[in-house]
């Protein structure tokens, strides 16, 4: 075909790409805003996360000895501190913490746009970049708007990388480093950032600015760890660092990260991003070196986090940011008619695939039936006389005036680790409460399996049926519903 005959095809596939990109972006924003005011749990840890926000709002310490009634998760504190601050102004509800996550997710989209434009990408390519990231919403289990640390962490991480490229001089390097420290205060994965980015900054901007960046990235985080350690009797160090060294490596993800998380979700733009990244490094331009190092670090963080047992789809987000930025920039390298037509044709295939794998996105939207089931759950808990333990649904338990308990995921992280002090603290408090018959009832999900808690509960309590009135309750991100089993004293 001659060059002019390519034009109609090129325009057609470009319009198809833009329509698909618009769909993903609208779905991403629309679903998040729709779920903002939903009063119950969007995903299975959100109730526990709201309980942690409540702990801070009430003046308690996040990091304390693990017990049956309160066990911290392996998370850094900044998100909970900010959310508790929002609660002090806007009142206690999921809306404030979710709004923080949504703002962070939208901020990440803006930063992807700014990255692409700063490196000469067109508005069309920048739009494709933010749409690529938005398109990972459903494959990434849609944590972007939930009461979780991930959205804030990805925002600060991306802002720090952008700052190293865009903010000039020593002041810019120090500010970028401080934002990296904020990323660390949001999620410990950011501890992997300073060393590779220090090396890239040294290469691209010189020793002086590299040292300024590294000090600003490391010192605040180190001070945070020290202060928390001495004010929590060492429990912060256990939860923030100790547990990470005690858990196994998820060996299936050594290969699965590349074949499933990358290849299956964003395979085509990843190949383009990889080639573009090599080209950046070959050019030896200072900003290109920083961007290439940032992309490698984003992907490295996601890979390392996925290898940690318990690392779910939410830990992949930094890698998808890297693919969105570099993949969009690679698109602009296709300038001739034939190559551009092929590039957009491949994007049509990629977006078509993502549309195919996200056909079930409607399940992520709460319905009126979900609200009624949540209302029924809280009412049913409130109708039980006396203390009730509901470890899987901390926020709903608190709304009903009952005890939330440490979430079984946090408890499992304690018990599968090797810290005897932590294990003994939890087991001792659990047996004391259960042996004494303190709880009038205990409500567990029928999906708990052989968790230590469920087995210990059965030593002293027996199932008497399901929680009437809570039928049909579900975590919105989950596929299907589950029964809530009521246990009473033997």
In this model, does residue 5 exceed pLDDT 70?
A: no
C-alpha distances (whole Å) from 260 to each of 139, 279, 313 are 10, 26, 11
In this model, does residue 9 exceed pLDDT 90?
A: no
The whole-number average pLDDT for the span 230-240 is: 94
Which pTM does this prediction carry? 0.94
Higher-pLDDT residue of 221, 340: 221
The whole-number average pLDDT for the span 89-98 is: 93
Nearest to 373 by CA among 488, 486, 447, 481: 481
Provide, rounded to the nearest whole percent, the portion of the chain with pLDDT above 70: 96
The whole-number average pLDDT for the span 43-67 is: 92
In this model, does residue 45 exceed pLDDT 50?
A: yes
Kind plus residue range of the DSSP H or E element containing 388: strand 388-389
| Residue 332 confidence class, pLDDT cut points 50, 70, 90 | confident
In this model, does residue 3 exceed pLDDT 50?
A: no
In this model, does residue 409 exceed pLDDT 80?
A: yes
Residue 108 structure tokens: 């990440």
Phi, psi of 362 (to 5 degrees): -60, -25
206, 241 Cβ separation under 8 angstroms: no
Residue 449: predicted pLDDT: 58
Weakest mean pLDDT among 89-103, 201-215, 329-343:
329-343
Angle, alpha carbons 445-476-143 (nearest 5°):
110
Q: Kindly give, in sequence order, each residue whose CB lies less than 8 Å from that of residue 388, ignoring residues fewer than 6 positions away.
A: 381, 397, 400, 402, 403, 439, 440, 441, 442, 443
The whole-number average pLDDT for the span 117-129 is: 93
Helix, strand, coil % over all residues of the chain, rounded to 5: 70, 5, 25
Residue 1: predicted pLDDT: 43
Q: Domain ranges for the chain, please list them.
A: 3-38+94-363, 368-489
Residue 448: predicted pLDDT: 59
Average of per-residue pLDDT values in the chain: 90
Nearest to 150 by CA among 25, 265, 49, 70: 49
Cβ burial 312-323 (10 Å sphere, 16+ → b, else e) = ebbbbbbbbbbb
Residue 125: predicted pLDDT: 92
Residue 6: predicted pLDDT: 54
Query: Distance (Å, rounded) from C-alpha 163 to C-alpha 146?
Result: 26
Classify 9 as helix, strand or coil: helix
């Amino acid at each position: 075909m001659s060059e002019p005959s390519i034009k109609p095809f090129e325009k057609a596939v470009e319009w198809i790409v833009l329509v698909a990109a618009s769909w993903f972006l609208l779905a991403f924003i629309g679903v998040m805003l729709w779920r903002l005011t939903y009063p119950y749990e969007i995903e299975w840890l959100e109730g526990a996360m709201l309980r942690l926000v409540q702990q801070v709002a009430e003046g308690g310490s996040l990091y304390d000895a693990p017990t049956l009634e309160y066990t911290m998760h392996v998370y850094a504190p900044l998100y909970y501190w900010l959310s508790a601050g929002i609660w002090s102004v806007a009142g206690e509800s999921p809306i404030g913490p979710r709004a923080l996550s949504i703002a962070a997710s939208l901020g990440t989209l803006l930063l992807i746009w700014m990255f692409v434009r700063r490196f000469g990408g067109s508005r069309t390519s920048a739009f494709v970049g933010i749409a690529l990231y938005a398109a990972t919403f459903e494959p990434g289990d849609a944590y972007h708007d939930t009461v979780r640390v991930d959205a804030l962490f990805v925002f600060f991480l991306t802002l720090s990388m952008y700052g190293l490229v865009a903010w000039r001089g020593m002041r810019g390097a120090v500010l970028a480093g401080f934002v990296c420290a904020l990323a660390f205060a949001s999620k410990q994965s950011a501890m992997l950032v300073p060393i590779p980015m220090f090396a890239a900054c040294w290469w691209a901007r010189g020793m002086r600015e590299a040292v300024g960046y590294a000090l600003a990235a490391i010192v605040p985080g180190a001070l945070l760890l020290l202060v928390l350690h001495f004010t929590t009797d060492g429990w912060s160090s256990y939860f923030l660092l100790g547990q990470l060294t005690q858990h196994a490596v998820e060996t299936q993800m050594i290969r699965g990260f590349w074949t499933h998380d990358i290849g299956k979700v964003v395979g085509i733009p990843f190949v383009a991003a990889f080639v573009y990244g090599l080209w950046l490094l070959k050019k030896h331009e200072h900003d290109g070196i920083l961007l290439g190092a940032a992309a490698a670090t984003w992907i490295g963080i996601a890979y390392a986090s996925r290898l940690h047992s318990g690392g779910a789809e939410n830990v992949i987000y930094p890698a998808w940011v890297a693919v969105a930025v570099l993949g969009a920039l690679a698109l602009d390298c296709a300038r001739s008619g034939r190559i551009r037509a092929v590039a957009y044709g491949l994007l049509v295939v990629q977006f078509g695939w993502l549309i195919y794998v996200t056909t079930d996105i409607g399940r992520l939207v709460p319905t009126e039936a979900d609200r009624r089931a949540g209302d029924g759950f809280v009412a049913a808990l409130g109708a039980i006389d006396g203390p009730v333990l509901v470890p899987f649904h901390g926020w709903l338990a608190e709304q009903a005036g009952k005890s939330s308990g440490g979430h079984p995921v946090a408890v499992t992280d304690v018990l599968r680790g090797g810290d005897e002090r932590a294990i003994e603290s939890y087991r001792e408090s659990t047996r004391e409460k259960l042996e004494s018959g303190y709880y009038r009832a205990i409500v567990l999900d029928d999906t708990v399996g052989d968790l230590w808690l469920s087995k210990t509960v059965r030593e002293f309590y027996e199932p008497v049926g399901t929680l009437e009135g809570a039928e049909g309750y579900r975590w919105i991100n989950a596929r299907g519903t589950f029964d809530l089993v009521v246990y009473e004293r033997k």
